[in-house]
Structure 1
Amino acid sequence: MSRQNQKAIKGDNISPSPDPGKQNCWEVMQCGRGPGQGLDQEHICPAARESRLDGVHGGQNAGRACWVVAGTCCGGEVRGAFAQTITRCRHCMFYQQVVSEEKKAFLDTVSLFQKLIEAGKKLGRIKRRGLIVGGSGLIGGTLMHYFKSKHGDAYEILDPNSKRLSLREPEDIKSYLETYRPDFIVNCAIPPLDGGAQLAYEVNYLGSINLAKAAMALRVPFIHFSSAALQPMGQRVAEDDHLPLSTSMPFYPRSKLMAEMTLKHLHETRGLDYTVIRLGVVYGKHDHKIQGFQRLLFSIATQSMMFLLTRPGVRHSYTHTEKIAPFVHHVLQHREEFTGQTYHFVDPEPVELSRLILAVKDALGVKKPRAIHVPYSMASLGGYSLKLFLRMLRPLGYDGRLPQEVMFLDKFYQSQILSVAKLKKSSFGLPDPEVTVFSELPNIVRYYVARWQHYNLIPTVDRDLLQTAPGTKAFQDTPRDLLEGLHSGRHEYLADFESLRDQDLPDSQF
């Protein structure tokens, strides 16, 4: 396809053609890597080969938009990782020349990236390949579903399990990334909260930093999920606030804090393009593990929480999983704004713990916990006594563990409200502030109660809470009648897939 006949990125207008009166970067910078200089295709500068930006600012290929092309050679050094070069590029004589010449016609970086993506889609040759580590978890699974279901035409998402890519094995990371070479990496992996020092260090710190260094080598963005567990308690806690790194800090938040500190160091010293997304208490469906908010729900469903383990007025910040994926997508599309930054991603309104516990109790229709607040001294003494009792049972062959969240028992009695001022001021803003843990509670309760009852993990509660497929009762009571009704068409419980049939082919083709 000639440059004159290429279609525009948006609409059906013809793209602007290169202006012979305007100079390209290789002509101004005299790098010797431009077209027609006796080099083979492999050694020509990527900016001179990037046809998707042909005609932009009147340049040939990306000759007048080289700052958004990876692998360019500026000052005799291969650069091009966006976060590493954008600051330098803005001080570059050629960049300033293009800004001056184009004036109002100058396209910002976001527009240029959008042109790259849209042009590639029109040419049928681009899908951004993303790697999500921890795709089987609540956060990773939500991201997987979002990109595959809503943006499958533009993104190819990889989600290897730990057998294919273990964060504890640097060679796994290297081998996998050499094979697939993703365009961005998202790290959602976390070990169990009570996994001990070795697991926390190897997964949360070493694994995360090795992934980040791999992203830096590939010159691709790295999105890292972190936790409010590394931050102090209090009101309006800002992104820069964190607990002091010390041996008194539990292993889980310690490893998370160290990872954030090293990511910042790599950004400042070696140009790592990263963003940290720090979450509060996460709530949502489709988590197979009983931890965090699900642990609270499980304790109430089993009526093992006798009284309220908190003080009146204690509030925390909560994060809805369904809101996270659009934010990650936005962050990937606006790297200039979000690179090197940490954002709290939580609902704007904090949640009072005792109110939430009682709301879950009402939703389940159970009698416990009683609306009596247990003082922290009594709760901590009970936890300590139970820990001693379990330790005494070990010589007898019994291995019992306290719930993972007990290590954070003191936080049930202190408020931690994360500031969302920075997120509010960003180009993404505050998403769906009307959607809260209370508005989502009925669906969440129904989902988990149905799942836990199917596995006999909790006693039977109100059957109205169960989400059952049509025909479930007949399957239990009258299976023959159900099967006959399905075969005869009397019951229409099976999905209809006729829309998949190619109407232009005769039935003999199927």
Structure 2
Amino acid sequence: MTPAITEKTGVLLGGSGLIGGTLLYYFKTQAEGRINILAPNSKKLSLRDPDDIRRYFEKAKPAFIINCAIAAIDSDPQLAYEINYQGTVYLAKAAQELGIPYIHLSSAAVMPIGQNLSEERRLPLQAALPNYTKAKLMAELSLEHLSRSRGLDYTCVRLGIVYGAHDHKIQGFHRLFFAIVDQSMPVLFTTQGALHSYSNARKLPYFIAHLLENRAEFSGQTYNFVDPNPVSLSQLILTIKSYLELKTPREIYLPFPVAQFGMEIMARLVRLITRLGIEARMPAELMFLQNFYETQTLSAAKLRQSSFRDPDPEATIFTELPELIQYYVTRWEHLNLIKPFNKEFFDPRRRAEEFLHTPELLLQEMHQESDLPFLKQCPLSNPPRGEETTQGPGK
């Protein structure tokens, strides 16, 4: 007789974000029957409350912990400290005392400017660092300390600029994408030679699953999880512009001092508008404006030399663009965040136009279709690539 496979229970924090949601969907579909994932939201488990964490893990007793949760990148010092740093340490202590692996998602924000940066390259800890960067850097340092002093079994996965479909927040790369689609970027806020590393959200679950199954190799290690080839920011912006057949942004490179001055003026206007009782704020990503003008590429050599094998080595930000454009443009249209694009491309059956202009005809069509079988029209296999379920605290 074949022995029964024992189902493991894992806890994932930050399940509502792009990364956490993608991981959650993977474990719910690809590892069904082998792994049960718990994804508590902040009401069930607050990373700011150590008693919450103690009670939850004493009861759940999971086989591993994955932490994707972060405070917003422009959070104040207290929130950044409590969630991005203190919460990380509490989770790591829980994992160490339970004797289980702890997987921590970190960021290239903790690394300096430069090319082909190895995992060992990190910024020095200084008070002047942005709150987000400082907290993520301190988290990495404390995980290393707990590994040396207490035997914590952890792996730190450091991400570049993350891209992927089904992120319901406009943040990170998707903030840049939105600015292009919304035609609110008149010129290029970068230099012609600025290169960056990108991380494919769709591939990450395969790496997480692999390192959980191979702890001897990956325990106590940090890995840059990025696509092998860096990307020119200007080339990426112009490619998106070409796909959408837009006139802007113009291929004019705005010098950083001019861009910085413009952002300062805009920040003052936002503060004035806020005093008038109108809710307004600058995009949080603008705190990293200087990074748009500087090259930072992460080495993927350590990842490539590991036992992990890329499930889709040909996939890059450029090959994924058509899917990303179709998903996000359609979504932002539905939310009335952007002006409508070509309806025939995004709504081939023209149902949205019928709903708007001829609802009685649409009603008649739907009633006629009610005589047809329903379930046989729908695929019963897995949802399209990149589909995700989102739960838990925000990322």
After TM superposition, the score normalised by the length of structure 2 is: 0.91
1:203 CA drift (Å): 0.5
Q: Which has the larger radius of gyration?
A: 1
Per-residue CA deviation, residues 88-116 of structure 1 (Å, 9 max, x unaligned), is: xxxxxxxxxxxxxxxxxxxxxxxxxxxxx
1:412-427 equivalences under 5 Å are 412-427=292-307
Q: What pairs up with 1:110-259 in 2 under 5 angstroms?
A: 119-121=3-5, 126-259=6-139
Distance 1:448 1:298 in 2: 8
Give the alignment partner of residue 171 of structure 2, picking from 291, 296, 302: 291
Partner Cα separation in structure 2 for residue 240 and residue 189 of structure 1: 23
Per-residue deviation, 1:473: 5.2
Matches within 5 A, 1:445-456: 445-456=325-336
Q: Which residue number corresponds to residue 392 of structure 2?
A: none
Q: How far, CA to CA, are the matches of 2:350 and 2:278 in structure 1?
A: 43
Distance, in Å, in 2 between the alignment partners of 1:413 and 1:499 is 47
Q: Secondary structure at the match of 1:185?
A: strand
SS at match of 2:339: coil
Check if 1:389 corresponds to 2:272. Answer: no
SS of equivalent residue, structure 1 residue 232: coil
Q: How does 1:308-319 map to 2 (within 5 A)?
A: 308-319=188-199
Shift of 1:481: 1.9
Distance 2:349 2:76 in 1: 41
Give the Cα separation in 1 of the matches to 2:121 and 2:142. Answer: 16
CA deviation digits over 1:262-302, x for unaligned, max 9?
A: 00000000000000000000000111110011101110111
What is the deviation of 1:470? 8.6
Is the 8 Å Cα contact of residues 129 and 155 (structure 1) preserved in structure 2? Answer: yes
Q: CA deviation at 1:431?
A: 4.6
CA-to-aligned-CA distance 1:355-412 (integer Å, 9 cap, x gap): 1001111122221101111011110111112122323344333442111110000000
Q: Give distance in 2, aligned partners of 1:214 and 1:202.
A: 16
Q: Is 1:354 matched with 2:256?
A: no
Q: Give the superposed CA RMSD.
A: 2.0
Query: Quick check: 1:304 aligned with 2:184?
Result: yes
One-letter code of the match for 1:426? Answer: S
Local SS of the residue matching 1:224:
strand
Structure 1 position 321 matched with structure 2 position 321: no
| Counterpart code for 1:377 | P
Of 146, 149, 154, the residue aligned with 1:269 is: 149
Mapped partners of 2:177, 2:9: distance in 1: 37
Partner of 1:433: 313
Query: 1:463: which partner in 2?
Result: 343
Distance 1:361 1:300 in 2: 7
Identity of aligned residues (%): 47
Alignment partner, residue 332 of structure 1: 212
Sort the Cα spacing of 1:376 and 1:127 in 2 relative to 1 into closer, same or farther, 3 A. same
Moved more, 413-422 or 361-370: 361-370
Give the TM-score normalised by structure 1.
0.71
The change in CA–CA distance for 1:305 and 1:497 in structure 2 (over 3 A counts) is closer
Change (3 A) 1:376 1:305: same
Q: Which amino acid aligns with 2:276?
A: L
DSSP-derived class of the 1:132 partner = strand
Change (3 A) 1:453 1:499: closer
Q: In structure 2, which of residues 344, 364, 368 is the aligned counterpart of residue 485 of structure 1?
A: 368
Relative contact order: is structure 1 or structure 2 higher (C-alpha 8 Å, sep ≥ 6)? 2
SS class of match (1:379)? helix
For 2:385, the equivalent position in structure 1 comes to: none
SS in 1 for 2:211: helix
What are the Cα deviations for residues 447-473 of structure 1, in whole angstroms up to 9, with x where unaligned?
Answer: 011111101011111224425789555
Answer yes or no: is the 8 Å Cα contact 1:446–1:467 preserved in 2.
Answer: no
The answer to whether the Cα contact below 8 Å between 1:316 and 1:416 also exists between their aligned partners in 2 is: yes
For 1:487, the aligned partner's letter is S
Q: Deviation at 1:150?
A: 1.1
Q: SS where residue 307 of structure 1 aligns?
A: coil
Deviation at 1:484, TM superposition (A): 2.5
Q: Are the aligned partners of 1:470 and 1:493 in contact in 2 as well (CA < 8 Å)?
A: no
Contact 1:348-1:430 at 8 Å conserved across structures: no
Gaps of 5+ in 2: 382-395
Unaligned runs of 5+ in 1: 1-6, 10-118, 501-510
Please report how far the alpha carbon of residue 433 of structure 1 lies from its aligned counterpart in structure 2 after TM superposition.
2.7
1:232–1:453 Cα change, 3 Å: same
Amino acid at match of 1:319: S
Equivalent-residue separation in structure 1 for 2:345 and 2:362 (angstroms):
23
Q: Is the 8 A contact 1:471 1:493 kept in 2?
A: no
Q: Which aligned runs of 4 or more in structure 1 are off by greater than 6 angstroms?
A: 497-500
Q: Secondary structure at the match of 1:432?
A: coil
- Counterpart of 1:48 in structure 2 is none
Shift of residue 499, structure 1, vs aligned partner: 8.4
